[in-house]
Chain A
Amino acid sequence: MTLRVPRRTIAAFIGPAVAALAIVGVAPLLYALWKSFHDFNLTQLARQRWVGLQNYQTVLTDSDFWDAIGRTALLFVSAVPVQIALGLAIALVLHRPGLTFWKTLTRLSLVLPMATTYAVVGLLAQVMLNQKYGVINQMLGWVGVDAINFIGDPTNAFIAVILWDVWQWTPFVALVLLAGLSTVPPEIEETARLETRSPWTVLRHVQLPFLIPSLVAVLILRTADTLKLFDMVFTMTRGGPGNATEFIAILIERVGNRQFDIGLAAAQSIIMLAITIVLARLYIRLFYREVS
């Protein structure tokens, strides 16, 4: 028997969500799209005009934009594999039976880095990594390592951002993969453990297929997070020194909020949106597999 639900009831349930999405998501997006076709600088409102695709042409031929994309990609390929490796290791440990109290405590503590405001994470980094007064250099000094110029050296600053990103987001990956591991039917896992003593074989042939959806979710979310990574870097290095940590979101903020060139920043944002959508589709097409 099929139950016919009146269209008005469906609309009443879906309507508020659609309206909210339209107001907070679609409308600003359309406005940004519209502005991306304009010369629209907040400090020169008198001369705003339609410029067609000129802003897109400027962005696509701007070496600063592509350098920032390159830096963002480098951050992604440096940080995310580490996060997945560490996250998987933590998830596998927490997935083992026993030590319930400690595992619960660990799960709770894993939430802390994620729950910390991004900007605060960056400020913490700025203080903790201070060359002279920072606690990290003080601890390195205890084991005879000279103080490292973390924030003032371009390479070190980039590495520091990677490490901080790994610290903040490895727990997220661990929790998602732990949830993925819980979808493995216990009888299949137990049978596999009876047939082999190699944890690697169990992981490779039994657990990993069930983890694919979680890994794809992690890849999509971490890609989006990396592309929009702003608060932590802004408070930690402000894109410097030089432009060593000027990732794409920092560049867009600089153009839009500090140079007030809203038209150009809108074009950059729309291009970033397109890149994000393409990457998400690619992940799903290349990696996503239903468990059979």
Chain B
Amino acid sequence: MKLKSHVSALALASASLAGLADAAQAWSLEEAAKPYAGTELEVLFLDRPGYNAAIQMLPDFEAATGIKVNHTTVPYENALGEQVRDFVAGGDLDIALIDLVWIGNFAENGWLVPSETFINNPELADPALDMADFFPLVLDAFGSWNGVNYGLPFDNYSGLLFYNRCMLEAAGFDKPPATWQEVMDTYGPALTKDGKYAYALQSKRNETQSADSFARFLWPFGGSFLNAEFRSNLNSPESQAGLQFRQDLMQFMPEGIVAWDHAETVNALAQGDVAFITEWSAFYSTLKSPETSTIADCLGVAPEPAGPAGRRPALGGFSLAVASQADAAEQAAAWLFIQWVTSAANAGRYLELGGVPARQSAYADPALAEQFTFIPALVESWQEGVPEFRPRFAEWPAITEIVQEYGTRMMLGEISVEEGAREIGTQMEAVLEDAGYYSGAKPLAQ
């Protein structure tokens, strides 16, 4: 991915617009939206804190613009299918909600409008847009494909280590584990006792297995899904070491961890049953609220432990992009909404309401870092992530199903780590072969 050149180009574009002082003074959301007053936008949302925050902010946007944003909340597991079917059928959605692993799929099928279309339109582009203010990793991973930006980061996560400080202190630890090896050698044995466990790794057979469990132990150990030739890298010594480490670490996890999804894992920490978990930053508000957590006062947040190859934390999140199936007025209105809800000006409020913005400027305020204790860890994590934590090409929906099946069977001991990795690799390469990556029909972009 041409991350730097891509971000620079966007930054230049927005900066050049920002340089137009007259335009800057003339531009206002209200004026820009006047031609589109009465337009109704359709978008899918998830039932997560970031979306609830946006929903609370919506009345302000609608009052200022006269544009109505109709949001339908769906479970994450349905969001991809709902959107694919809508775009294939030429449906109603005007805004695409893009998980980072869907961006290749959506972009290659022509379902998105590149954001430059709007950034280069002075009537629609807010002079304060400032694309360079987004964390570069996040802007690239969540909203860009093959050097072109389509979406602006909206619901942004990094994997973080959430821990029960009181439980760690009672066991004689004054800080959380900094490396996975410490978890295995020191923290695991000391904290797994009396019906309590050191660690819970959500591993249910859905995207949780491939994203939260399988991939989490590939990257910090130097492994990856694919090598430079797009062949499976899962049987490399590094990948094998990571996957075997996950297997060995299960002795410090609750029984039946392969059936645990986010809810069970977050709940286990919130109820004081496990000492730490690695979860998405979005769960901070759940764990910090006394209404949903018994350890709110004991909650600590740190970056994920590092492996031999560094930290390489889990990376996930969603961007919003304008759907190409929308008509011109809807596209313009959709851009105005996306630009507004992800703006630096709104980032503070979004954060206050439970969202996690990807604006660097939002985290510069030390007072905010004190109020939201996950901020330093989050900012640190977004410096060290890898965009292809999960490959983002159109074939990921097929590959993730393979990973989910064999990743779970590995954990259950039904097949060895080596056999499972080989089986995933063989099937993964068959999918990529079929898609045309090895014949040169498709570029090796992930």
Q: Could you tell me which A residues sit within 8 Å of B by CB distance? A: 42-46, 130-132, 149, 151-154, 157, 237-243, 254, 257-261
> A152 and B256: CB pair below 8 A?
yes
> A241 and B258: CB pair below 8 A?
yes
> B258 and A44: CB pair below 8 A?
no
Complex interface: chain B residues within 8 A of A154 (CB): 412, 414
> B259 and A152: CB pair below 8 A?
yes
Contact of B401 among A46, A130, A254 (CB under 8 A): A254
Contacts A45-B109, A242-B408, A243-B405 given; indicate if A151 touches B397 (C-beta within 8 A).
no
Closest-CB distance, A25 to chain B (whole angstroms):
21
Contact of B259 among A241, A260, A261 (CB under 8 A): A241
Contact of B206 among A149, A153, A238 (CB under 8 A): A238
The residue in chain B whose Cβ has the minimal distance to the Cβ of A257 is B81
Contact of B435 among A44, A237, A241 (CB under 8 A): A44
B212-252 vs A, Cβ < 8 Å mask (1 yes, 0 no): 00000000000000000000000000000000000000000
> B401 and A259: CB pair below 8 A?
yes
Complex interface: chain A residues within 8 A of B435 (CB): 44
CB of B409 closer than 8 Å to a CB of A: yes
Top 5 closest A-B pairs, CB basis? A152-B256, A240-B205, A152-B259, A149-B256, A151-B259
Roughly how many angstroms separate A154 CA and B394 CA in the complex, as a whole number?
Answer: 31
Roughly how many angstroms separate A258 CA and B395 CA in the complex, as a whole number?
Answer: 11
Roughly how many angstroms separate A259 CA and B204 CA in the complex, as a whole number?
Answer: 18
Closest-CB distance, B13 to chain A (whole angstroms):
30
Chain B interface: which size bin? 20 to 34
CB of B88 closer than 8 Å to a CB of A: yes
Q: Could you tell me which B residues sit within 8 Å of A by CB distance? A: 80-81, 84-85, 88, 105, 109, 204-206, 254-260, 264, 268, 273, 394-395, 397-398, 401, 405, 408-409, 412, 414, 435
What would be 8 A-B contacts, judged by CB atoms less than 8 Å apart?
A: A45-B109, A131-B255, A152-B257, A240-B205, A240-B258, A243-B405, A258-B80, A259-B398
> A258 and B256: CB pair below 8 A?
no
> B255 and A152: CB pair below 8 A?
yes
The residue in chain A whose Cβ has the minimal distance to the Cβ of B407 is A242
Complex interface: chain A residues within 8 A of B397 (CB): 43, 258-260
> B105 and A43: CB pair below 8 A?
yes
> B205 and A238: CB pair below 8 A?
yes
Contacts A43-B105, A44-B435, A154-B414 given; indicate if A239 touches B258 (C-beta within 8 A).
no
> B394 and A44: CB pair below 8 A?
yes
The residue in chain B whose Cβ has the minimal distance to the Cβ of A244 is B412
The residue in chain A whose Cβ has the minimal distance to the Cβ of B409 is A242
> B84 and A240: CB pair below 8 A?
no
Roughly how many angstroms separate A46 CA and B398 CA in the complex, as a whole number?
Answer: 17
Roughly how many angstroms separate A239 CA and B256 CA in the complex, as a whole number?
Answer: 15
The residue in chain A whose Cβ has the minimal distance to the Cβ of B410 is A242
The residue in chain A whose Cβ has the minimal distance to the Cβ of B203 is A241
User: Which has the most chain B C-beta neighbours within 10 Å: A131, A241, A259?
Assistant: A241
Contact of B205 among A45, A131, A242, A257 (CB under 8 A): A242
> B204 and A240: CB pair below 8 A?
yes
Roughly how many angstroms separate A260 CA and B83 CA in the complex, as a whole number?
Answer: 12
Complex interface: chain B residues within 8 A of A42 (CB): 84-85, 88
Roughly how many angstroms separate A42 CA and B109 CA in the complex, as a whole number?
Answer: 9
Complex interface: chain A residues within 8 A of B109 (CB): 43, 45-46
Roughly how many angstroms separate A237 CA and B397 CA in the complex, as a whole number?
Answer: 19
User: Which has the most chain A C-beta neighbours within 10 Å: B80, B206, B256, B260?
Assistant: B256
Contacts A43-B394, A131-B256 given; indicate if A238 touches B204 (C-beta within 8 A).
yes
Closest-CB distance, B201 to chain A (whole angstroms):
13
Roughly how many angstroms separate A157 CA and B435 CA in the complex, as a whole number?
Answer: 35
